[in-house]
Amino acid sequence: MYAIIVGCGRVGSELATLLSGRGHEVTIIDHVGSSFSHLDPAWRGRTIEAEAMAEGILERAGVERADALASVTNSDAVNAVVAHVALTVYHVASVVSRNYDPRWRPLHEAMGLRTVSSTAWGAQRLEELLESRRVRPVFSAGNGEVEVYELDVPESWDGRPLSQLVSDVACQVVSLTHAGRAALPDREAKLNAGDLVHVAAGLDGAGELRRRLYGTEA
């Protein structure tokens, strides 16, 4: 795969290292030459010191043959425009833009871009970890809008049906683990204390499951 990365800050340099380490060809663009010092000394990709939106720079980077482009600067306007151009003008197959400030997220969404918002995702994850010890996110999709949560079944729910837990909650049961064996459960399956339930849900759904299982203290 040939990938172009726009922005050589902490995120861009780490992404460049990860892609290069997997054997991919990478070009990284940044308008501040000193930013390339963030790259691992062993990194051997191509660097271009220029404004990505300046005339001819994406072509110079080889955007016509690029399989992927990630725009990860600290400017939402730059990220959205560069990603939009890569997607609609050069038809790059895989394009991702970084949402730096959550207030600018609607701009990325209006352009139909695949977006990663580390600020929003990180804040939500911190909230989840602070708020609950027994509802653990184990997989996150998108920017955390939907996650898979692992729930410990307490003694108070021993013998009660799974359907009672998930009824009228915006969630999908993924698996039920009993005595170390996971299965795709029937909603009428009986819960046992110590079982693990994996459920896909948004933040509101996870909160409701938490209240049902553990009450307000969890």
The answer to whether residues 35 and 99 belong to one domain is yes
CATH number of domain containing 189: 3.30.70.1450
CB atoms within 10 A of CB 14: 14
The answer to whether residues 88 and 142 belong to one domain is no
The pLDDT value recorded for residue 188 is 85
> Which structural domain range is residue 196 located in?
126-217
The pLDDT value recorded for residue 81 is 94
Give the global pTM: 0.64
CATH number of domain containing 43: 3.40.50.720
Q: Is the pLDDT of residue 27 over 90?
A: yes
Query: Mean pLDDT score of the chain, rounded to an integer?
Result: 88
The answer to whether residues 93 and 156 belong to one domain is no
Final residue of a structural domain among 119, 149, 174:
119
How confident is the model over 10-25, as pLDDT tens digits? 999 999 999 998 899 9
How confident is the model over 67-103, as pLDDT tens digits? 999 999 999 999 999 999 999 999 999 999 999 888 8
The answer to whether residues 73 and 141 belong to one domain is no
Number of domains in the chain: 2
Final residue of a structural domain among 119, 135, 154:
119
Confidence of residue 65 (pLDDT cuts 50, 70, 90): very high
How confident is the model over 160-192, as pLDDT tens digits? 999 999 999 999 999 999 988 899 988 889 999
The answer to whether residues 133 and 70 belong to one domain is no
Final residue of a structural domain among 54, 84, 119:
119
